[in-house]
Structure formats: C-alpha cells, structure tokens
C-alpha cells in the first residue's frame, strides 16, 4: 500500500505542473493580445492625431461633403475689424457657370514674342470652384477700404482653401474668384494646380508651416514672414478672367496674365 502511494504522488505533481503550465500559457497569450491590441489602438490613435495636427479641423464624408465643410470652416474664420465675416465662400464641383452651365475647358493665355497664345488646361469633374463674395453689389465687400493688407488677407483665405482641398481630397485644381472693389465687376481669380503645389513641396508641409497663425490675424497684422510666403505662393497664380464659348457652345474659362501689374 505504501509503495502504491509513493508511486502515485509524483504523477499528481506532474499533473499539477501541467495544469499550472497551461494556465500560464493562457495568461501569457491573453497578456500578449492585450498589449498588442493596446499598441494597435495607440498606433491608430497616433496616426489620427498626426493627421489631425495638419490643420485645425478635418472634414469628413464624400468629396462633395468635404468641399462644403472646407468652404464653411475657412470662410467663417476670416473676419473684418468689426468682427463680421469678411466674405461668404461658395463651392461648386464640377465647375459651373451661370444657369448651371458646365465649364468645359480652362484656357491659359500667354504672350510669346509679342503674340498671344492659348494653352488648354485639362479639367475633369474632379475640380472645384470657390467664390469669395462680399455683401455689396457684384460681390464687393461693403465695408472698409480695399487696401493692400486686406488684399493679402483674401490671398491668405484663398490659399488656405486650396491647401485644405488638396490635403483632404484628390481634387486636381482649385479656382478661386476674388471679390472686386466697390463699383467694379469681379475680374481676378486664382488658378491653383495640385501638380504645381506638389512640385513646390507645398503639400508636404503641415498647414502651420505655411500659415503660422491657426486663427487668421487682422489684415494689418499678418507677420512679415507669413506675408512673404503668401505672396510667393499666390502671386504667380493670380489672373484676370473672362468667359467665352467654343464652336460646340461649351463654356470656356480664360485666364489672362496680369501684364504690367
């Protein structure tokens, strides 16, 4: 009997050891999955935070929804001295003319050897047209004077619209109409191309590396370094605009360079 008890006791120890090992393995696996899951969540949160840190907000939804959110967000942040919204921002995608006639082609005019030539710029439905419109006649800003500082603030707004649009959508070009001076008709427009911004390295930078202030400063208070950046990026893309038609009745938007200005 004693011999039987002596032989069974080691088997009980081994059985207990196997049970303990199995429990340890389960706990280790659970711990691994917990740590891995937590790490994955942190990575996802980190990626989201990194993307969110590009600007002050992140639009969501389809491209059309994002464009409208960008127009609303950027437009509402630019103010006059009196605290009123500087201009309203409307967005159209695809680009359209009066009575919802679609713009079928962008035409860039340029002078070569004293002769005016025309270059077609390919467009598709994947482009956006913004209009900055004041409360006065012909979309003029009805209060204050049309100063150089205010003009730069409008340039800043147009640039911010383009940067948000290129960052959060795959839109290929952004056309932005500027409000005219009082008593005049709209005549100036920006043509921003994604390919050009990419070639300049603009899209590789976070927003605050280009526009340092998260909230647009008053027109006369834009820092000199930021003003130089705004002018450097936007001045080559500012044109006069006009409409014409092709033989098929399509609407052509023509960009004329600012000769002598």
Q: Percent of the chain, pLDDT > 90?
A: 58
pLDDT number for residue 52: 55
Span 138-173, pLDDT tens digits: 999 988 889 999 999 999 999 999 999 999 999 999
Which pLDDT band holds residue 13 (cuts at 50, 70, 90)? Answer: very low
Q: How many Cβ atoms are within 10 Å of 231's Cβ, its own excluded?
A: 14
Read off φ and ψ for residue 214, nearest 5 degrees. Answer: -65, -30
- With residues binned 3-state (H G I as helix, E B as strand, rest as coil), the percentages for the chain, rounded to 5, are 45, 20, 30
What 8-state DSSP symbol labels residue 102?
A: B
pLDDT per residue as tens digits for the range 56-73: 899 999 999 999 999 999
pLDDT digits (tens, 9 = 90+) for 27-50: 444 444 443 444 444 333 333 333
Give mean pLDDT, residues 97-101.
Answer: 68
**Residue 213 binned pLDDT confidence (cut-offs 50, 70, 90):** confident
Q: Do 134 and 186 touch, CB atoms closer than 8 A?
A: no
Q: How far is the C-alpha of 127 from the C-alpha of 124, rounded, in Å? A: 6
Higher pLDDT, 252 or 247: 252
């Amino acid at each position: 009997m004693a011999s039987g008890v002596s032989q069974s006791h080691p088997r009980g120890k081994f059985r207990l050891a196997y049970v303990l090992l199995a429990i340890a393995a389960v706990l280790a696996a659970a711990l691994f999955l917990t740590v891995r899951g937590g790490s994955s969540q942190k990575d996802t949160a980190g990626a989201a935070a990194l993307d969110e840190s590009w600007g002050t907000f992140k639009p969501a939804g389809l491209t059309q929804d994002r464009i409208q959110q960008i127009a609303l967000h950027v437009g509402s942040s630019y103010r006059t001295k009196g605290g009123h919204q500087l201009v309203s921002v409307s967005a159209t995608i695809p680009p359209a003319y009066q009575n919802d006639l679609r713009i079928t082609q962008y035409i860039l005019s340029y002078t070569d050897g004293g002769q005016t030539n025309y270059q077609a710029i390919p467009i598709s439905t994947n482009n956006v047209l913004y209009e900055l419109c004041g409360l006065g006649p012909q979309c003029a800003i009805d209060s204050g004077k049309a100063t150089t500082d205010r003009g730069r603030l409008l340039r800043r707004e147009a640039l911010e619209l383009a940067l948000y649009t290129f960052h959060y959508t795959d839109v290929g070009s952004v056309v932005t109409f500027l409000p005219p001076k009082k008593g005049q008709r709209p005549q100036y427009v920006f043509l921003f191309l994604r390919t050009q911004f990419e070639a300049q390295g603009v899209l590789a930078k976070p927003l605050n590396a280009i526009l340092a202030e998260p909230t647009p400063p008053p027109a006369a208070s834009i820092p000199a370094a930021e003003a130089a950046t705004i002018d450097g990026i936007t001045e080559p893309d500012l044109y006069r605009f006009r409409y014409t038609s092709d033989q098929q009745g399509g609407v052509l938007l023509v960009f004329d360079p600012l000769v002598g200005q």
